[in-house]
Structure 1
Amino acid sequence: MKMKSSKVLTKKDLMKVFWRSFTMEWAWNYERQMNLGYAYSMVPALRKIYKNSKEKMSSALKRHLEFFNVTPWISTFPIGISIAMEEQNAKDEDFDTKSINDIKVALMGPLSGIGDSIFWGTLRVIATGIGTSLAIHGNILGPILFLLIFNIPALLARYYGLFWGYNLGASFIEKVQKTGLMDKLTYGASVIGLMVIGAMASTLVTINLPMKLGTTKDAPTVQSLFDGIVPGILPILFTVLIYYLDKKGWKAQYILLLMAVIGILGAFTGFMKA
């Protein structure tokens, strides 16, 4: 794929990013998930973009150590967009660096939905079906075809996603800068990001308080009282508490220990229920 000569980065630079992107799965962690692999993948591009400023290079690395998670095989698409935005930031002193992470957060949900459906929900099932049907008859082509059917499209998506993201990001950012749409885009991305976080808190965080407010059989529970105020308010409040502790400098292991203690004590006393 040809790269435009007016850009700072060459295809060789982006290929370095491509090979490093495989660490997205290897460096996954429970605190910020793909952030280490994302930042590590960005290093070759950032070194060239900010070769004259160690301070800007450091700030860029910190930006990309924020929480991030997406279907691994399409992770290079947002990386490409991030690189294009970092490139624009190096050229424009008034560029809003907050928009870089806002765009990343906004892309996580939609891209994961598409990626999971294609790779986990469809391609993996097809590859497994074909591979298993041959393997149960002792055919060595079973595992080989499984790996090829799944990994060839995955590698192509990872490769082309990086270049598409970079080219799209560069041209798109230039247009929105000229038309003054960057502020609106940043605001919209922030709203979408907050919606994604709210949805994640509501669906992934579960708190059940079964204690009844009264002695009758039909007495309402504490849980129903809170749900009557705002459905799912307890998971949101608990998420806000964890966010507050994180901002106060609590380490992840202490927060996890606190959550475990609350869960154990809650289940032991009957105040909480799974």
Structure 2
Amino acid sequence: MKITKNVSPEDKKIINKIFWRSFTVFASRAGATKAHAPGFMYSIMPALDEYFKDDKEGHRKAMMRHTTWYNITQNVGTFVMGLVASMEKKTAQDPNFDPDSTVAIKTSLMGPLSGIGDSIFWGVLRVIAAGVGISLASQGSILGPILFLLIYNIPSIATRYYLTYMGFTVGDTFIQDMYKSGSMKLLNKAASTLGLLMIGCMTATMVKFESKLSIPIEGGKPIKIQTYLDQLWVGLVPLIVTLVCYWLLSKKVNVNWILLGVLVLSIALGLLGVV
């Protein structure tokens, strides 16, 4: 991998440790004021231990710097971990380097990186993985959950690893350059559009409603309500149900209540013989 070429063997060991520790970043939460700061500090501790091994006071100050708020989509958060490790190395080696800039840059990248991470991994990749998994699982195939985990986790883990090195070697200028060139805005727009397309496709293929109601005709075949619903708009009821769920989510209704409501409605309609 090109991104590792200019990294010393000692730094590679540190970066690899940061990568593996990054999986625990959301294992703890230090309240509303610090969020996942403990997990971040644990993840970058190999770098602090190595670069400040002969400077106990410097090590203490470095730890204090990273007790501040931290919350980035974990799939892309390793970029900041690698970047912070690089900047802490600079702090340990250069007495003229301003250590406060490390915290400032870390904080400034939280919003942009979370926007990218949420759009790509939560809005697109997870939807695609769920679509494939649900489709196969609904047919009784064991490949459903397996492919869901593989489709989501393989790109996610590979991105984590690559971004850890990228943050260490490239630095914050990469994100700044993307903003200046307009690439960041284009990336977010493309990811959002693809995510909406996938949600639309999943709604059309996986939200089902087929009414059993019919109007009896003496001496003839009964008129099925579903036939007229399909003539009016194929998939009209599933679309309405989806839009109602979306509206409830926009009103901050807990997703568990929405799921419970859909479940109760489905059971009630089934018992009444509507569907």
How many Å apart are 1:8 and its aligned residue? 8.6
Q: SS in structure 2 opposite 1:123?
A: helix
Q: What amino acid sits opposite 2:85 in the alignment?
A: I
Give a deviation string over 1:31-80, Cα, whole Å, max 9, x none.
31121111001111111111110110111111111101110111100011
What does residue 134 of structure 2 align with? 132
Counterparts of 1:161 and 1:91, CA distance in 2: 24
Counterparts of 2:143 and 2:30, CA distance in 1: 35
What does residue 17 of structure 2 align with? 16
Q: SS in structure 1 opposite 2:112?
A: helix
| 1:106 and 2:108 are equivalent in the alignment | yes
Q: For residues 142 and 8 of structure 1, do their structure 2 counterparts lie closer, same or farther at Cα, with a shift above 3 Å needed? A: closer
Contact kept in structure 2, 1:73 and 1:158, CA below 8 Å: yes
Contact kept in structure 2, 1:8 and 1:49, CA below 8 Å: no
What does residue 272 of structure 1 align with? none
Equivalent of 2:76 in 68, 74, 77: 74
Counterparts of 1:52 and 1:147, CA distance in 2: 43
How many Å apart are 1:148 and its aligned residue? 0.3
Counterparts of 2:98 and 2:11, CA distance in 1: 25
Q: What amino acid sits opposite 2:130 in the alignment?
A: T
Q: SS in structure 2 opposite 1:115?
A: helix
What does residue 58 of structure 1 align with? 60
Counterparts of 1:79 and 1:40, CA distance in 2: 11
Give a deviation string over 1:155-185, Cα, whole Å, max 9, x none.
0111001000000129x69xxxxxxxxxxxx
What does residue 35 of structure 2 align with? 33
- Share of identical aligned residues, percent? 47
Counterparts of 1:150 and 1:91, CA distance in 2: 39
Q: SS in structure 2 opposite 1:79?
A: helix
Larger radius of gyration: 2
Q: What amino acid sits opposite 2:59 in the alignment?
A: M
What does residue 153 of structure 2 align with? 151
Counterparts of 1:18 and 1:141, CA distance in 2: 29
What does residue 235 of structure 1 align with? none
Note the residue ranges of structure 2 that are not aligned, 5 or more in a row.
175-275
Counterparts of 2:17 and 2:87, CA distance in 1: 18
Contact kept in structure 2, 1:131 and 1:142, CA below 8 Å: yes
Counterparts of 1:160 and 1:58, CA distance in 2: 29
Q: SS in structure 1 opposite 2:79?
A: helix
Note the residue ranges of structure 1 that are not aligned, 5 or more in a row.
174-274
Counterparts of 1:33 and 1:47, CA distance in 2: 23
TM-score normalised over the length of structure 1: 0.59
TM-score normalised over the length of structure 2: 0.59
Q: What amino acid sits opposite 1:19 in the alignment?
A: W
Counterparts of 1:59 and 1:167, CA distance in 2: 24
Give a deviation string over 1:208-232, Cα, whole Å, max 9, x none.
xxxxxxxxxxxxxxxxxxxxxxxxx
CA RMSD of aligned residues (A): 1.8
What does residue 182 of structure 2 align with? none
Q: For residues 43 and 160 of structure 1, do their structure 2 counterparts lie closer, same or farther at Cα, with a shift above 3 Å needed? A: same
What does residue 224 of structure 2 align with? none
Contact kept in structure 2, 1:88 and 1:95, CA below 8 Å: yes
Q: What amino acid sits opposite 1:156 in the alignment?
A: A
Counterparts of 2:10 and 2:101, CA distance in 1: 21
How many Å apart are 1:3 and its aligned residue? 4.4
Counterparts of 2:30 and 2:113, CA distance in 1: 20
The count of corresponding residues between Structure 1 and Structure 2 is 171
